[in-house]
Structures are given as structure tokens and as C-alpha cells.
Structure 1
Amino acid sequence: MAVIGELIRKAIDVYGSLTSEPDPAKAQLDVLEHLLRKARLTAFGKKYNFTDILGSPDLVAAFQREVPTHDYNKLHNEWWHYLLEGHQNVTWPGGQSYFALSSGTTSTSKAIPVTDDMLDSIRKSGIEQVMSLKNFDLPADFFEKQILMLGSSVSLIEKDDHEEGEISGISAANIPAWFRGYYKPGLDIASIPDWDERVNRIAQEAPKWDIGSLSGIPSWIELMLKEVIAYNKLDTIHDIWPNLQVYTSGGVAFEPYRKSLESLLARPLTYIDTYLTSEGYLATQKRPETSSMALIVDNGIFFEFVPFTDENMDEQGRVKPDAQVLSLAQAEENVDYVLLISTVSGTWRYMIGDTVMITDKLRAEIKITGRTKHFLNVVGEQLSVHQMNQAMQKMQQQFDVEIKEFVVAAVRKDGEYINKWYIGTNRPVDNQPFTTALDEELQANNKNYKVARSKSVKGVEADVIPVEHFYRWSEEFKKLGGQAKIPRVMKEEDLREFEQYVSGLA
């Protein structure tokens, strides 16, 4: 019997029985009051009258009335550039030791402040996720196994008064001392900046480890597992890590990767989704009956929801100043919302760039449905990434292929708009039948797209290419691993550049 593991599991069960889930609406009010009170004497707090807001009988309404919504450019240009220059007490008390460099799905590099309070928040959210494991019926010996966290390098960039890196690298560099015995690949390997070298070292060291859990973005986890299997001449990853039972995903929808990932396993894993961004740890899956994630409502992040409609968004994909904005208490289930957050890192009514849908309001559970700028609506298609992912799952079944990556743009051809797709698969597929099936599937499930196809979208083209072409492009123009994500929707000029690059790989 795994005595230590049994003790840990019992401790988690006892902790869970002594704590109760917070009331989401009340917890959010408490968080907002805490944020305003702590930041009231910052330059931002004085500018927007935080002290007066705290005296208002309707805290949320006063906050929304006084403080404008922000995207990254607005916050950076008006406030955060002072932090990078070494100033303090700008949007949050004191300064900060870290900036998270965003390497998401846009080409613009972003530097997000990461305060000590945010690091504490991320650690607490991590503990909350661990505590929720009691709901997943895992055996006692699981709690003795190691956790392989595949993130970006913990070798951070040193600046005058702070360090910079991706949030996964910053978090790993600040893991508690008690956790380091469980954490793999360890700080030495995690410090290697080159992705290929880091993965090769993981493959070399893999036989020495007893991994019970994986954590990371699906595409990079899959590449790592393939390297470990190939280097060690295995059939599946369970040949070397027989106790692997859990995969904690995050950053992108997992379902498009499930089939290809499970081809590397001897048996399926327990899959747990999380929502860790450069701006904070926002949500985690707490129960096995659903793939939805529970917003972490009581830990330094205040959430707001903007209905994702043309009336609320401008042509650049930003929230309009007069947009309808709802608190969690006011929001409804099964509606696409643009997510705004205010946090202990000094982000205020900040458009994180994701769209979400509340699936269970009582539990504050959500699904990520897409990106505000990755919503195809150039000529009325109104296609969300969520709908695209669903269509790709149908294509996988219909054509018996693995579709791991794809990208689409509305482009001009012979003076008319068409939708041009590039689809990354594990084997060749005839382009024309695939195109027809994809077009029919999207029309069947999106009435706006069906109307657009009869009027403004004059054609659809889909080129099926090796998925490795996406990763080669990412390596050259973005980077492999960490939080780097491949976009789903591009502007026409960006797709043309992508098209030119992949045509040279043929």
C-alpha cells in the first residue's frame, strides 16, 4: 500500500470536507472590494476615484461607470510603460519583479506585469486544482508520482529591475521548495532556452522518472511524447511511465488533439482542463462529469462579461466604450461573452482576448469558445473558433484523419471573397471532397455562415498539408513550446505570408 500517497489523499479529502465552494456572486464582490481598497492610492486608483467607488452602495455599477475598459495597447501606452521604466505604484502598489511576455496568437509582443500578489494567486489556484483531484477517483499511489510540467524556459531575461519570460517559465521558477521533489523536468533542464535541446534532454532523462501527471499545451506535449518514445525505442509512453494517469491541458481546446495524443498511450488518461494565461490563473476543471472549468472566483481576479455582438465590438475587435458589460451575477448561461478581468497585477477591466460561455452559473463554470480577433466575420460568416473545432472533429471522423492544426482567412480571389483554409493532418486527404464536406458541415450548423455562402462568400478552398508544416512555421516565426499557440484565424496578408512559407516546404 502506498502509505505516503494514502496520507496525501486523505489530507486532500479532509481539506475538501472542511472547505466549501464559495458563493460566486458574493466572492466576486469581495474580490472587487479588495482590489479597489488595495489599489486606491496608486496613480490609477487616484485617477479613477477608487476611494469614492468604495463608498458607493452599488460597487460594481460605480466601478463600471468610473473605470473604462482596456485592451493591452491602451493599458501599456497609458500606464504600464511607466512600470517598464522603473516607476512604482502605477496600477498596483509597489513595483514588480517580473513581466510575462505573451507569445500567444498575435504577432505583437506583450509584456504583462506579474506582481508578488499574482504569484501568490497562481500558487493558491494551483493548490485549489490539486485539492479538486479528490473528485477524480485517483488511486493513492498517484499522489506519490512526479509531475512533468512542459512550459517555457525558466531561464528568464534579466532587465534593470525585473526579469521577463513566459508565464509558465515564471511560475516554474517560483515553485515552492516542497514541490520541487515532484516537479520534472527540474530547473536545470527547464532552464534550457532551446526547445529541441530541452526536449532531447527530457527524452534522455525519462527512464529515471516516475511520471504520474503531465501538464502543458497539447501540441507541445504531443511533440515531446513522440521524442521520448522515439529516443527510447518505445511503443507507447506507458512503456516508460507506466503510472502516467493524468494530463492537465490548458491554453487551447483539447478535443482536436485527443485522437492523436491517445495514439501515443497504452490507455486513455484522466483529462483535466485549466485556464492559465499571462494575466493569471483564471479557471480549472473541478469535476469529471464535465469538461467545463470553474472560474476561480475568490482569488484576486474580478470577472466581467461583454456579450459578443456587433453592437459591443468595434472593427478592431475591441470592446466599445458604450458596450453592455455584465458581472458574473448578471451574466447568463450559453451566451458567447468577451471576458474582462481586473487583477492583483494591476490589470483593470482588461480585455484578455478570449470569448467564453458560461455552462453552469451556480458553479461559475465556463468553456473557452474562441478569441475576439479569431472570429471569422469579414463578410458575414460569423464563425467562432468553437464552431470551427466542432466541424474539425466531424471531419476527423468522416475522413479518418487526425486534424491537429488549422487556419482560415477571408481572402480575395478574382475580385470576390472566399474562405481559404489550411488543414494540418497526419496523412494526405483529397482536397476537394474535404472542402465540400467542411463547407456543408459549417452551413448545417451556422445559419449566418449559410446565408453568407449564398451571398458574400463566393467560394471555399481547403488545402490539406502535413501538420509538421505548422510546427516548422511556428518554430521560425514564433517559437516552439511554452505558451506559444498557433492561430486559427488570420488576416488576409498574414495568410498570404503563411501560404508562401508552406508552399516552399512542399
Structure 2
Amino acid sequence: MGLKSVLSKVFASVVNRSLNKVRGNAVGLQQQTFQTIIDQAKNTAFGRDHHFSQIKSYEDFKKHVPIRDYEDLRPYIDRVVDGEEDVMWPGKPAYLAKTSGTTSGVKYIPISKESMPEHIKAARNALLNYIHETGKSDFVDGKLIFLQGSPILNKKHGIDTGRLSGIVAHHVPQYLQKNRLPSYETNCIEDWEQKVDAIVEETLQEDMRLISGIPPWCQMYFDRLSARSDGKKIKDIFPNFKLFVYGGVNYEPYRARIEESIGFAIDSIETYPASEGFIAFQNSQKDKSLLLLADAGMFFEFVPADEYFNDNPTRLSLAEVELNKNYALILNTNAGLWGYSIGDTVKFVSKDPYLLLVTGRIKHYISAFGEHVIGEEVEYALMSVAKAEGVDVVEFTVAPQVNPQAGQLPYHEWLIEFGKAPADLQAFALKVDKALQQKNIYYFDLIEGNILQPLVIKSLQKDAFINYMRSQGKLGGQNKVPRLSNDRKIAEEMLRLDVGKE
């Protein structure tokens, strides 16, 4: 055991005591955060426009600050991007995180000097929490890889601007720099496929012990490592690889294939980072729930998902949430986002401590016929049947077919790339349909009432999703294909590309 490993256990014990305060006093920490950020922002343009000096309680806040998405907040954010000071938070932001929105095009999310350390602290604490729980710390003595965007930052009106992962790369603690891969030069390669190939060459002979990234792009890295090594499993290429850290998408649809590529069921840590803030991370290896970070400079609000599109939806603080109910997550941050709908849905599985699961995207659902099928439901339906049938799913997306061929009822069309396809695709589709009916009563009623026919699965060719992302200029990084759409834009383009490959 190396010196770093020994010291990390000592530090992990200290951090665990801090995390116990989060576990035991989340509501109190949220109230402190609320008061602090309101006071700090009261003299900003946003604070003056929304009467922050008069806000004494959460009830006051709800009266003065509406829920908004990026487009609604854009008049303020554009002023920030243009270099104006004291707009949403005191001064100028330290960074602008550049993201790709599905409706807003390029988005710029402010990161302040107060919020940036919270991103780093949360990532560090996720690892130290794991070390404290398991006693496993040897991974810090080997090489660590973070599959991420380019660290090259551009100036926008004097503000450093780039992808969140690239910004974070500039804040990796010094004690990890010598262990960290890929090299800065390789990390700066913009073309994702060239970058992955360069990472393979750079890491192939190294003692890789921790690998982190978004699951589909880690899978691409594993596939290319294996191809470069005559089909070896990752455990045989990196015999000391013991920890996989991921975030950005639900891991379960990828778990079986990734573990098959690695060669065993590796320990993993799920994280919930976003440009807007680092929201939660996996609390224990014994379950998959995530610990809400109640002291990370963010005051959280929760809107019942079934009310989100109402004119005046219910808004709840952490103290008011119920277990096992889907909520749209609303953020108020120490970077100046107020009443900001991040677009995710979560549900709490514990309030002692506050543990949650990310269940989907509030705008990624299918309700072309009133069924309101959400991501959590389709992922459960598909993966429960796939696991029972020994089927390997690489990736999938679902869209409604509202204009079927003459004589047919409308249906949900599932576009799936299989690693190992079912022997009988139609029988498999019927089982998935039954599983979805059990999860969603509205969908059940539509099938039973002959409004919809059972779902139809279209099996796509190998690399269909990679080819689609490449065609959209979104291959790699933090990009991913939406699992659910309420229209057929993605589905039609994927089918066009798939036919073109035949």
C-alpha cells in the first residue's frame, strides 16, 4: 500500500464526519443555504428585480421568483455572457460552461468563484466516501483516467468558457496530477474518435485503476482497447482496474455490456454532476441511491412531475417532499441561477438521510395519446425483460408512430441496437409491452381499449447510435441520445441512416 493510499484513508475518515452532517441535517443546511445565497445576491440586477431584500422566507421567495427554464432566464444570462457585472450573482462568473441544449441551441451556464470549489469537493468526496465505506484505497496509487471534453478554454468578454469537464480538468488536485491520464495534449484533441484512439495508445501499457466517464463513451473506449489487444477483456489489459465512476445517464441499460467487456462486476460510483452544480453522488455500494448534497451552495425546489406543465404548479422545499414520487428538480445556486428548471426528474427513496434516484428528463416523455410514459418506465420494461431473456441492449430510443400504415393502430416504435438480439423479436417485444403496461396504467388502458397496438421494435445495425451522433456532430463528451421523444425527428433520422447502411 502506497503513501497516497494510506493518507487517503485518513482523509476519508475526516470527510465522512462532514458528510454525516449532510446526512443528519439536510433540511437545516438547506435553510442556511437559502438565506446565504439570497443575502449575497440581493444587490444584483436579478435580486433587485425580484425584491430579494424583502424575501424573509421560502413562501416569500415563491411569490417573487417564478420557475424558469434556460430560455426564460436568457435575457439575464445574455447580459452575463456579454460581460456585464452583478447581473445574477455579484461580479462576473469565473467561467461559462458551454452546453448543447435540445431546444435552446448552445447554452452558457455561469460558474462562480463560490460554486467552482463545490464541483471539485463533491467529486473528491464521492471517492473518499467510497474509500471510507469499503476500505479500498489502492486505486489512488495507480493511474486514473477521466474521459472528458477538451480543457481548452476560450475567452468570452473576459470570461473563460468551455465544456464543464474541460473546466474541471484545470482544478484536478495537484496530488492526482501525476496519476491522471490522458495527457493534456491528448485531452485537447477535438475529434472524439481520434481522441479515443489516442487515449487507447496512451493508456494501453499503463496501470489503470480508476476509469471515469459517461457509460456509452466508456464502452467505446473499452471496445477499442479490446480490439487493440486481440479481444482481451479489460481486466486482463488492466489487472488492477477496480473502480468505475460514471454519471450523465442511467447506468442500468449499459451495465451488463460494460461488465461483460470488463470481465467482472466492478465496483462503481454513480455521480450526478451538471454544469449548474454537483447535485448528488452514490452514498453506498449497498444500494444505488444518491446522497443529495444539501450544503453545496444550492437551494433545491421540487415540483410534482405531473403538475410541471400546469400554470401554477406546487413548489416544495426539501422538508416537504414525499418518498417514491417523481419531482422536477428546480435549482437556486451560488452562481446566480434562480428558480431554474434543470430538466431532470428525481424521486426520493429515503429521508433519513435524503437519498434519491434520477428518473428521467421532464421533457423526455411520450404522451402522444395521453399515456405520459417516462424514462424510468421504459428503461425498467426493457431491461427487466432483456435480463430475463439473456438479451444484450447496446442503446435504444422510443418515439410515437401516430400515422401508421392503413388498417393499423398507432403504436410506440422502439429503435434498439442489440449486442445480443432476442431469438424471437416479436415475442420479446410483447413481453416488453406487458412490462410497460404494468408500470403505466394509462398505457395499459390505451392498449386494453384498442387505442394503441402493442409496441413495435425495430432492430438497428451495429453502431447505429454512434453513427447518428456522428451525423449530428455530437459524438463523445457529455452528449447522449434522448431515450424518449414526443415526435419522430430523431427516429426518422436514425431510420434513414440505418437504411443507408444496408
With the length of structure 2 as denominator, give the TM-score of the two structures: 0.93
Moved more, 199-208 or 414-423: 414-423
Q: Provide the rounded CA distance (Å) in 2 between the counterparts of 1:269 and 1:386.
A: 24
- Tell me the residue number matched to 1:317: none
8 Å Cα contact 2:323/2:349 also seen in 1: yes
CA contact (8 A) 1:478 1:484 kept: no
Deviation track 1:364-402 (CA, whole Å, cap 9, x = no partner) reads 110001111112222122211111111111231244221
**Number of residue pairs aligned between Structure 1 and Structure 2:** 494
The one-letter amino acid of 2:21's match is: E
Asked if 1:462 corresponds to 2:460, the answer is: no
- What residue is the counterpart of 1:75 in the other structure? 73
The residue that corresponds to 2:483 in the other structure is 488
Q: How does 1:54-93 map to 2 (within 5 A)?
A: 56=56, 59-76=57-74, 78-93=75-90
Code of the residue aligned with 1:480 in structure 2: it is L
Q: Secondary structure at the match of 1:116?
A: coil
Tell me the alpha carbon deviations over residues 254-298 of structure 1, each in whole angstroms, 9 at most, x when there is no partner: 111111001112322111110011211110112122101011100
Q: Which residue of 2 aligns with 1:446?
A: 440
Distance in 1 of aligned mates of 2:492 and 2:146: 35
Corresponding residue to 2:177 among 163, 175, 180: 180
Q: For 2:126, which of 129, 133, 156 is the aligned residue?
A: 129
- Number of the residue aligned with 1:423: 416
1:166-315 to 2 correspondences below 5 Å: 166-233=163-230, 235-309=232-306, 312-314=307-309
Single out whichever of 477-486 and 348-357 deviates more from structure 2. Answer: 477-486
Contact map agreement 1:105 1:487 (CA 8 A) in 2: no
The CA distance in 2 between the partners of 1:480 and 1:60, in whole Å, is 42
Secondary structure at the counterpart of residue 434 of structure 2 = helix
Q: Hey, what's the Cα distance between the residues in 2 that align with 1:80 and 1:378?
A: 33
Q: Pick the aligned partner of 1:356 from 346, 359, 364.
A: 346
User: Hey, what does 1:16 align to over in structure 2?
Assistant: 16
* Correspondent of 1:28 among 3, 20, 30: 30
Tell me if 1:326 matches 2:345.
no
Please state whether the residue corresponding to 2:98 is helix, strand or coil: strand
How far is the alpha carbon of 1:96 from its aligned partner? Answer: 2.1
Moved more, 179-188 or 221-230: 179-188
- Which of 377, 398, 405 lines up with 1:408 in the alignment? 398
CA contact (8 A) 2:152 2:188 kept: yes
Inter-CA distance 104–431: structure 2 relative to 1 (3 Å threshold) = farther
**1:175/1:457 CA distance change after superposition, 3 Å:** same
Indicate how the Cα distance of structure 1 residues 298 and 386 shifts in structure 2: closer, same or farther if over 3 A, else same: same
Please tell me the residue identity of whatever aligns with 2:29. A
Distance 1:10 1:336 in 2: 38
2:494 counterpart of 1:504: no
Unpaired segments ≥5 residues, structure 1: 315-319
Counterpart in 1 of 2:51? 49
Q: Conserved in 2, the CA contact under 8 Å of 1:380 and 1:448?
A: yes
Q: Which amino acid aligns with 1:70?
A: R
Q: Measured at CA, do residues 325 and 158 of structure 1 come closer, stay the same or move farther in structure 2, by a change above 3 Å?
A: same
Secondary structure at 1:360's aligned position in 2?
strand
Deviation, structure 1 residue 140 = 4.0
Structure 1 position 467, deviation (Å): 4.7
Which amino acid letter does the alignment assign opposite residue 188 of structure 1?
Answer: E
- Give the alignment partner of residue 117 of structure 2, picking from 120, 125, 144: 120
Given candidates 331, 334, 346, the residue that maps to 1:344 is 334
User: Distance between the aligned counterparts of 2:280 and 2:259, measured in 1?
Assistant: 25
Q: Match for 1:496: what amino acid?
A: E
The TM-score normalised by the length of structure 1 is: 0.93
- CA separation in 2, counterparts of 1:490 and 1:449? 16
Q: Structure 2 CA distance, aligned partners of 1:452 and 1:446? A: 10
Q: Which consecutive unaligned segments of at least 5 residues does structure 2 have?
A: none
Q: Secondary structure at the match of 1:298?
A: coil
Contact 1:424–1:467 (CA under 8 A) maintained in structure 2:
yes
- Indicate conservation of the 8 Å contact 1:428/1:466, yes or no: no
Indicate conservation of the 8 Å contact 2:399/2:488, yes or no: no
Q: Is the 8 A contact 1:104 1:484 kept in 2?
A: no
Partner of 1:475: 470
Say if 1:422 and 1:465, in contact at 8 Å, map to a contact too: yes
* Whole-Å separation in 2 of the counterparts to 1:191 and 1:213: 21
Call closer, same or farther: CA 1:240–1:326 in 2, change over 3 Å: same
CA apart distance, 1:165? 2.4
- Measured after TM superposition, the shift of residue 157 of structure 1 is 3.8
Change (3 A) 1:66 1:200: same
Asked if the contact 2:272–2:281 (Cα under 8 Å) also holds between the matched residues in 1, the reply is yes
8 Å Cα contact 1:99/1:112 also seen in 2:
yes
CA root-mean-square deviation:
2.0
Distance 1:322 1:423 in 2: 38
Report SS of the residue matched to 2:365: coil
Distance in 2, Cα, partners of 1:236 & 1:95: 48
Separation in 2, partners of 1:19, 1:282: 14
2:466 is aligned with what amino acid? Y
Counterpart AA for 1:377: S
Q: Mean Cα displacement is larger for which, 105-114 or 22-31?
A: 105-114
CA spacing shift, 1:463–1:15, aligned 2, 3 Å: closer
Deviation string 1:130-162 (CA, Å, 9 cap, x unpaired) is 321234414342331222111112123443423
Amino acid of the residue matched to residue 493 of structure 2?
Answer: E
Structure 1 residue matching 2:342: 3-state secondary structure: strand
Change (3 A) 1:33 1:17: closer
Contact kept, 8 Å, 1:247 with 1:269, in 2: the verdict is yes
Over residues 80-124 of structure 1, what are the superposed CA-to-partner deviations in whole Å (9 max), with x where a residue is unaligned?
Answer: 111122211111111124222223666733221222222111112
User: Contact conserved, 2:302 with 2:315, CA < 8 A, in 1?
Assistant: yes
Matched, 1:393 2:383: yes
